[in-house]
Structures are given as C-alpha cells and as structure tokens.
Structure 1
C-alpha cells in the first residue's frame, strides 16, 4: 500500500496542534512529591492529559508506578518502544510568548517543551494515530512511552522497568538527527576551595539563576559593599560555546577592576585563565577527544559561598573512549591551592551497535525523507537511551540546529515539526510492519 504521508499529515495537522496545546498548557516542572505524583502534580497532570488523548485515539493506555505512562497498539508482549518525556525545565524569565501555551508566529511555534520534548513525543503519538487509522496490518506491538522525570535525572525509568519489560528496540525523539548510537559520559564536579574567614568577609553571596541544565547568564556579587553585575548569554549546558558564561564574565570583571587582592584575586584569575572561553578543557589539561565523539566539553554552571569555601560546579561531558578516572586525575593537577574535588553527578557513557539492522532502518528512513546523510552519530547530551535498554536517540533537531532547548522562547519551526512527524511515522511503520 502506497501512503502519501505528507498529505495525511497536512489534512490532520490542525487537530494535532489543538491536542498538542492541551499538553503544552500544563506546567510540568518537577515539584514537591505528592500522593500518586512522585515528581509533583505538574508532571503527573501532563501524563494524564497525554494519556487521555491516547485513549481518544483508540489506544490501550496504562500508568506504571505513577511515574511513566504508555499508549499501546498491538497485543504481543514484546514491543517496539518510542520513549519521550513530558516534564520540562523551569520557564525562566524574559519570554516573548506565554511559556506554557502553544504560540505561533511567522510559521514558528513557541512554548516550553515544544522541542524538548512535548512536541516530538506528541508528534509520535499523533503520527501513530494516523497510521492506525489507515488500517495497516502490523506484525509487532508498539508503545509510545511517556516519562515524567527526564530533566531531573531519569529516576522515573527504574520505576517503569521494575514493572515492565524493556522494549526489544526503540528510540527516543529527544536529541538530534541522524540516529545517535553513542552518548558521552557525564560527570559533574564541585570544586571546593578553602579560604580564611577574613578573606571571604569582603565577599557577599552570589545572586543569579544558576542550574546545571544551562550556561548562567545573569550573576552578581557584592565586594566590600559594591555590587558587581554581569549579563551573559544563556545556552544549554551541553552547548557552552553558544553562550556567554556569567561566572567567567564576573571573574573577568572583578580582576579588571582590581576588586580583590591576595588569594581571592588568584582564585578569580584562575577561573578566567582556566575556563573563560575554553569549552573543551584545554585550560585544565583535560582536553581529551576521540574519533567517534569528538572533544570533551566543560561548562561551569554554579558558583556559591559555602562556609569558608567557594564552591564552583562544573559539568563535563567526556568522549566515549575515556574513563571518568582519567578526567579526575588530570583535573586534580590543575586546581587552585587548597582545593578538592567532589563528584555531584555521574552518568556513564552509552553505546549501541551502529551496524544493528534497526539502526540502519532508521538511518535509511531519515535519508529517504530528507535527502541528507544518515550515518549514525554520537552526542554530548543525555537522553533516555542511557537508562532504557535497547533504544537509541533519533531526532528531533536537524543538523545545524543547536542551543534551542532550555532557553527562553524555546521554539520549533512548523515545517520541522511536521517533517519530524513524517520521519517518525515512516520509522515506526518500518519497525512494526
């Protein structure tokens, strides 16, 4: 049967936008655990809203341990899994559009989660609905799986896998194209540097939006009662080269204006020398790289006072051929005096055989639809592919599209959203027919 995917999508897109908007309007940021809502009421409400749509589409649905839900087509126990998430990072300030609503201007959609990850996973669900309505014969069961804690460490996945089998194969639409077969290792360090009480007396608290998911863009501190304030440029923490880091900008300003002396001045000079615009670890002797995954990447994301210490937190994404111990050993040799390292987060690298027939199927679909090279690649990001066995990352960002997620005015072009739906429809059909 020959299917005109683009015609089918075009005829149904307005309904898709209406349904997507229902989920976009839920402020699904992680909150205080509540009864039957382990990650807060927002993520749980988004899950219930998505599953209500799935039932309207005629799919069997279920919620597992109040953490993960799925919509299923087929009866077999073994299944193909499409695993995305409905939780989002906080909106932050400075939006031109309401963050928790689907807004459209000049053929571009805006809203928190339109790219990461409500738009893509809902495109998969709606695309599967369109396939189901074509009454196609299928040989395998498929599930659209909705997580609710991806942005905060994926602690939802163990709750799912404790009750359900892992998919026999699948993908997460939460990264980039083409197929992503490998994800770098991630380690976050807190660099604790000790000062005398007198040395830190002149320094106030650091004030600004600092979190591990993004490059900080607004930071201030009072020194001897005078406020030092800098404005940088926010970017995702896995794309530091696209931002302007307020931590290093603040250190540069403090040094340039001679605001400190002695050990404190040495410390801020070390930040500038080691980290300012040195995103690949070259300032700290950790500039590892390999052919498959490229260069190590480092992002300073938080600077705070902690008693008589300054605590600088950095996120490092290291190549798949490198061990965390290699990074730690090299980094320890380049710290300021009286400093120690503490690991605050670690995620091992992941790797899936790029020669696998299912990976090659997805690569072929991508090439067929876009005309672009589908050779599988690696990523600096962290997706559900690290935590769900047998899946890879696949879309939604096309080559050259980077640094959009986690920013204010998060967006996705209408053309790209619909092109994603076509790729996912074709890919899902190939995997289950």
Structure 2
C-alpha cells in the first residue's frame, strides 16, 4: 500500500474523533473581547486556545503557549520547522441562524457553526492530519508545528507576539483562504471618509450591523425628534460584495425617497453622492479607482460603516482590496478627487500587497498534492483576502474552500461540507508529509 493510501485510510478512520474535538471548539464563543490576565484578546479566544492545547496533548503532541497569543502543537525536535497556522478567534455570530451558532450541527452532509469554515474546522483538520502522520510513524526530517492563533479576525496582533519569542517557520501554510495555493494577496486599505455637515442637521444617531469584515445587512438613521429611517440588506463577506446587498446604500436611497422634510440639504446631497458613487459599483468605478491587472483582476470596494459624530461629521468606512501591481498612493490620489465637499480621507489600516515566489518548490508540492487529491488544476492563484501570510514569514494560504465556494464565512449558517472537511484533512496530511519528510 502506498503512503498516500495509508494516509487517506488513516484520515478516514479519524472522522468520529475529529468531529468530537471540533464540537468542543465550536461551543466556545471565541469573539475578541477586553484584554484580561493571560488573555490579550479576551477570555473567549483564550479558552479556545486552552481547549486546542488540551486536544493536542491528548493526541500525544508536545504543546506550549507562546505569549498567551498562539498555541503550539509540535511533532519533532529539529530546529527548522514546517509551520501550519490557523486561527480560533471568530467574528460575532450575528442574526439569522437556522442552527445554534456556537455548536456543531451536522445535517444533510453539511457541518454548521460559527468557525466551522473560518477557521476552527480547517485548523483542527491540520492537527488531525499531523496526527495521521504520527499514528503511521512516517519518517520526517523536519519538525512540524500546528499553530493556533487567536486574533486573525481583528488584525493579527497575535503573530508579532509569537515571533517575539519564536523563530519563523522555514515554510508552511495557513488553511484560511481557498484552493489552489495562493501566491499573492492584494493590497488592502481600510479608510474613513470624514465629511462635515451643518450643525442643525438634527441627526441623533446613525448606526447598524456594521463590521469591517462584512457587507452590512442593517442600517438606521434616527433624528433628534425620534423619527427613524432604516434599511435592510443582505450580508456577505466584505471580499465578496457582489454576493450581498449593502444596507448603507439602501439607507441612502431610503433617505432620498423620504418625504418628511427632516433631511437637511447637505445630507441629502451627501446621500445622493453615496448612491451615485457606490451603488453596485464594487470595482470603484464611481470613485475613479477602478484599477485592475492580469495577476489579480479588478479592484474591490465595500462600504461597511456609516456613522455620525457629536461634532456633526459623517464617517463612512470603506474597505478596498486593490490589485497587486497598484500602489496605495495611486488609490488615494484618485479617490481624493472624487469626494463630496468638505471631506477628507483618514487611513485606518494599510496592508501592502504580498507576493510569494511562484517558482518556490513549496508551491510545486502544493500544486501536485492538490491535483492528485482532486483532479483539478492546481496552478497557484491570488486572492482578495487577507491571511496570516501577510504577518508570518515564509508561508502562503492553502485552502480550505474549493473553487466556486464563496461568501460562506462570516455569514449566518456558516458551514462546510462534511466531505470537504475530510478532503481537506487528506490534502493537508499529504502536503505536510511531503514538506517535512
């Protein structure tokens, strides 16, 4: 029997044990919270780390916690190591679930729960992939570390804490994006467009279900006299705006249609600008920033937040994912020329594009394993997402979503096919073995 068949059979034999462990992790609401003792990103992420370390210890791995931020499960003793890093923090559950968000529900071949895709399910699949290698006692020349992060959804501040105490892997991957292997990640900007409005606007509150990782599905404006205008949309990940309906745009349209006479003229003009510039223009064409290139395609723009301050400033939050050959200065220069009056740009977060050498032998291993396991083209690709590959040296994103699977993470009823979770475990077992043998 070939090593590949041995690993596949061993992975399949671990199904029941894997899902029992996954249920333990999914039951922890590991959303970022206030920093506490031994919990820099909140009690929930810390509990998830501790649980993962207990699971790894029960599987016979060496374990340790690094700066209370990253949990390590290790096989081997050599200094050089292959690093596989997933994360256990999750975005808030939100509304609209058909199943308990913080639990594992398996129905009709699908596994549901917040984090089952992003990223507890795939991270744990990597641990069990290494467990399959361990159980077969396959010879490895490099140490393998499965790393469990705790702050990926809120900026990846856990990685600097890890690297302050530990060396980076010689190579590896994060199971937190898509297949095939991802050699390039677009540049990302999170901006706040600040616009001054008249002091007598009468707007008391401008709020909604607003988060930088999502297309918002609810927005509301309340006037000082209690009169309210609200709008519903459809949520989707912010890197798939075409799959959602943005409630901010819906609210602006509702404001323009309102006949109460409460809306000041400057706010009406702003709402008109917002609709004309942003409605269904996910490539940024309405703002003159519709860049694209051969490597990564078109720019992607998502309004995710709209609020008003006590000093009568409208604040519009935007996420922009721009092609790998474009610069931040190009984006800001074009954008500055297309703002409403009395506006300015504040850069909240900036992540330049990253590119991994396409000729690197690690990508060849990933391509070969993926093609053998799926029969599909494994040519490396680029992504609109932001993963640990931006923060951890020498790694790329690899899985867990297969081509055509998009817009599932961060939504209600987040799910993965049971068959895909097991296929991921097979792919990861073979990849880890090939990289470390």
- Flag whether TM exceeds 0.5 (same fold): yes
Aligned residue pair count: 431
Equivalences for 1:24-423 in 2 at 5 Å? 24-198=26-200, 200-201=201-202, 203-223=203-223, 225-258=226-259, 260=263, 262-306=265-309, 307-423=311-427
**TM-score, normalisation: structure 2:** 0.97
Distance in 2 between the 1:122 and 1:141 partners?
18
Distance in 1 between the 2:368 and 2:254 partners?
51
CA-based RMSD of the aligned residues comes to 1.1
Distance in 2 between the 1:222 and 1:112 partners?
31
Distance in 1 between the 2:254 and 2:345 partners?
26
Query: How far is the alpha carbon of 1:101 from its aligned partner?
Result: 0.8
Q: Is the 8 A contact 2:198 2:266 kept in 1?
A: no
Query: How far is the alpha carbon of 1:225 from its aligned partner?
Result: 4.3
What 5-or-longer segments of structure 2 have no aligned partner? none
Query: How far is the alpha carbon of 1:284 from its aligned partner?
Result: 0.3
- Local SS of the residue matching 1:112: coil
1:136-168 C-alpha deviation (Å, 9 max, x unpaired): 111111100111000000000000001100000
1:203-229 C-alpha deviation (Å, 9 max, x unpaired): 231232111110110112135643212
246-255 or 165-174, larger mean C-alpha shift: 246-255
Distance in 2 between the 1:156 and 1:11 partners?
33
Query: How far is the alpha carbon of 1:8 from its aligned partner?
Result: 2.1
Query: How far is the alpha carbon of 1:48 from its aligned partner?
Result: 0.8
- Local SS of the residue matching 1:280: coil
- Local SS of the residue matching 2:429: helix
Query: How far is the alpha carbon of 1:294 from its aligned partner?
Result: 0.8
179-188 or 204-213, larger mean C-alpha shift: 204-213
Query: How far is the alpha carbon of 1:309 from its aligned partner?
Result: 1.0
